[in-house]
Structure 1
Amino acid sequence: MTGIQVRIVRDHRIEKRRAAIVMQDWLYCYPPTGDVILVPKGYMTDFASIPPLADRLIDVFGDNVEAAVVHDWLYAVGQPGRREAADDLFRYALKEQGVGLVTRNAMHAAVKLGGGGAYGRAGEWDRRFGDPLTGKPLARSPFKRRTSAVVTRLSDCRRMESIAELGRLQSRFGSSQWPRAVR
């Protein structure tokens, strides 16, 4: 998993939490399946949805950031029948980022318990995009709603360690090539 570039949105909240806009397409490969997920430039995240009081124990901007962003994206896409897989990917990604076992399991249990209403929620797609240049939320998604967050599958996620492979994946599956929403 590589670092993700985001821009914190100054005056916008998602369910009372700070929001950030993904500054460039970001790829994540899930080793158990080889699924490659592309979080598009312009996607807005609120990182980990930590309830008040628990935020004193779990750092919203800590080692969980990349896992939280990909999990948010999976929930925004909301592919039918894939919520449990999204939550399991979140736990795996937390482990990859070095989040300790107790914190990782607590965060996983929290999304399993409290995340159901957000998964694929109507309206979630349109309110989760912003302009990376201005930092302003967009009224609607620039993309047609995705049916899957997975853009391809690799036989070995370590292939993404190659700059050439990353470039190939980004040019082939990048959001600049996604169908645009009809206005």
Structure 2
Amino acid sequence: MEKTKLILDPISNGKAILLEEYIYEINGYLIRVPKSFITDGASVPKSLQWLYNPYGKYINAAVVHDYLYSCYNNTGINRTLADKIFRHIMQETGVDNKTVRRFYAAVRCFGETSWKKKILNEGYKDRAIVDHTKEAKEYYNFWDKILGL
């Protein structure tokens, strides 16, 4: 659930800057995207921007997802969870199911190239598509209790 209003100001090259901190709540957990964070909206290939505007109805999810993929993410949330949060926010903000499925599939398939090194805590790093290690189970059990995704 959106806790503050998303206020973006276009800058250049299809990017925008947050004019105020943006806070989104999932099951009581607050994700805080800092003021002055720069986003490119939804990372839609230029050839598809006639169909999917990078700043369409899914912009709230895209901004949070961009932040979680950035080097400023110190939450401990890894790429898998960031993608699930992206899907959750799109569903919660009323994006149609077909678009949610397409965008989620796109970030799962192509997001690895955008996944940045974290400055502080990058959380549990997936080692395989299906990882049954003790570390993985503990990590996902911890976040499942917090986020309930």
Same fold (TM over 0.5): yes
Who is 2:58 aligned against? 64
Alignment-derived partner of residue 84 in structure 2: 88
Task: State the alpha-carbon separation in 2 of the partners of residues 19 and 147 from structure 1.
Answer: 26
Once residues 80 and 146 of structure 2 are traced to their aligned partners in structure 1, the CA distance between those partners, rounded to angstroms, is 23
- 8 Å Cα contact 2:18/2:34 also seen in 1: yes
| Equivalent pairs, count | 123
Task: Identify the structure with the greater strand proportion.
Answer: 1
Q: TM-score, normalised by structure 2?
A: 0.72
- Alpha carbons 1:58, 1:103 under 8 Å: kept: no
Structure richer in helix, relative to its length:
2
Q: CA deviation at 1:98?
A: 0.9
Gaps of 5+ in 2: 123-144
- Asked if 1:147 corresponds to 2:125, the answer is no
Identify unmatched segments of 5+ residues in structure 1: 126-144, 149-154, 158-183
Conserved 8 A contact 1:3-1:66? no
Aligned mates of 2:84, 2:146 — CA distance in 1: 19
> Moved runs in structure 1, 4+ residues, more than 4 A?
78-81
Identical columns (%) = 31
Map of 2:36 onto structure 1: 42
Task: Write out per-residue CA displacement over residues 126-172 of structure 1, whole angstroms, 9 at most, x where no aligned residue.
Answer: xxxxxxxxxxxxxxxxxxx4537xxxxxx999xxxxxxxxxxxxxxx
The equivalent residue for 2:7 is 5
Q: Deviations over 1:45-67 (max 9, x none)?
A: 00100013322222222111111
TM-score (norm 1): 0.59
Q: In structure 2, how many angstroms separate the alpha carbons of the residues matched to 1:4 and 1:63?
A: 12
Residue 112 to residue 8, structure 1, CA distance change in 2 (3 Å): same
Higher RCO, Cα 8 Å, sep 6+: 1
